[in-house]
Amino acid sequence: MSYPLEGLRVLDFSWFLAGPYATMILADLGADVVKVEAPERGDPSRTAGPFANGVSGYFLSVNRNKRSIVLDLKSEAGRARAAKLAGRADVVVENFVPGTMKRWGLDYATLAETNSRLIYASCTGFGQTGPRALESAFDLVIQALAGTMSITGEAGAAPVRVGNSIGDLGGALYLTIGILAALQARHRTGRGQALDLSMMDAQVALLENAFMRYFVTGETPARLGSRHPLIVPFQAFPTSDGYVVVTAGTEAQWGRLCEALGASELKEDARFLTNTARRQNIPALETELSARFKTRTTDEWLEILRDHEIPCAPIQTIAQAASDPQIAAREMIVNVEDAQAGTQRIVNTPLRFSEMQSGVRTSAPQLGEHTDEILRDWLAE
């Protein structure tokens, strides 16, 4: 079977996470992603641990399926070669501070003069416009400014960062969507265009529910721990040996939960008759439910809850998730062979197609590994 984006050429100037994660998705879908790296050091993420036989696991995980070319963009010759490659590209991706690519003569307006079909995707912390446009931004900064950290953590405790780099990854996913949309538009018009993606914009978009609640009620959303802001109960409860998460998203599920807990009387309690009533009486409800959940182990409750068709789960560690039979069945953890690091386990793409394929084909490239090959493939036509 073929790959969805087979034949698509992507010239990737991005580094660290947001841009490379987006181009990783394109590469998983079959695009020829050429990673442009600086001489000697390359992408700074190559120096980020942990390491497997000297290879950065960080770099390896988001740069599989790509080819690497070394170009010195601070030199006239390097910039000229980059411009030639851009002339043969379908997509250019970059995440430099706004104005950097223009100083190098590699901005959209310049490159589009010789390649009108070019999709030029810029991914920065704050976009190309606005008072923060020239500020540097990392995931933590985006999570803080967009409001993510203000609603993450336990009530009354210090704000915390979401456990994965949602600021970068949210930007990467929207960047990918934007690139695919621009390619579809090009099928109709024959013309490329520039895409201006702000990580902060993407983070605000992902916080739509929190903003909606603020706009409707005028109340600033706060940290709720594992609780859902609208559905009750919808949270983690302590058991005798750990935790179990339980969701009762409908009144029918709430009724079955009461039966599972051996607490049918709670269904008739005026404080808990409806979701609205339960939201208004959360402390009392948590007291009632927590006392019951603490009487059995997590495994015991999982069996009981599943018998009553209540959505539930244990809170797994990453190690436990890596061994989860569902993840194994979906082939979400695969092996990749790296010339230096050896056999490495890596997270696969979640995309599954009936008529096409996608996924991990090759390990991340060594610095400049494909320079001559790329120049021959792209420029010797």
Beta-carbon contacts of residue 162 (< 8 Å; ≥ 6 apart): 143, 148, 149, 152
CATH topology (fold) of 9-206+326-379: Rossmann fold (3.40.50)
The ranges of the chain annotated as CATH 3.40.50.10540 are 9-206+326-379
pTM (2 d.p.): 0.96
Whole-angstrom Cα distance, residue 294 to residue 58? 39
What per-residue confidence (pLDDT) applies to 1?
86
Task: Read off φ and ψ for residue 186, nearest 5 degrees.
Answer: -65, -30
Residue 361 phi/psi, 5-degree rounding, is: -110, -45
**234-238+243-314 classified as CATH 3.30.1120.80:** no
Q: In 10 A of CB 130, how many CB atoms?
A: 13
Ordered mean pLDDT values, 10 residues apiece, the chain (381 residues): 97 98 98 97 96 97 98 98 98 98 98 98 98 96 98 96 98 98 98 98 98 98 96 98 97 98 96 97 98 98 98 98 98 97 98 97 98 95 58
Tokens (6 digits) for 200: 């902060």
Q: Could you identify the residue written with the tokens 């008529």?
A: 355
Rounded distance, CA 119 to CA 109, Å?
11
- Residue 381: the pLDDT is 58
Residue 380, pLDDT score: 85
For residues 332 and 176, what is the distance between their CA atoms, to the nearest angstrom? 20
Contact 222, 155 (CB under 8 A): yes
DSSP-derived 3-state class of residue 345: strand
d(CA 199, CA 14): 14
246 forms beta bridges with 235, 312
Q: Which two tokens stand for residue 93?
A: 């991706």
pLDDT of res. 106 = 98
**Rounded Cα–Cα distance for residues 223 and 261 (Å):** 27
Cβ proximity of 140 and 167 under 8 Å:
yes
Could you give the residue numbers annotated as active site? 228
Considering the chain, tell me which residue range(s) the CATH 3.30.1540.10 domain(s) occupy: 234-238+243-314
Handedness of CA 148, 152, 156, 159 (dihedral sign): negative
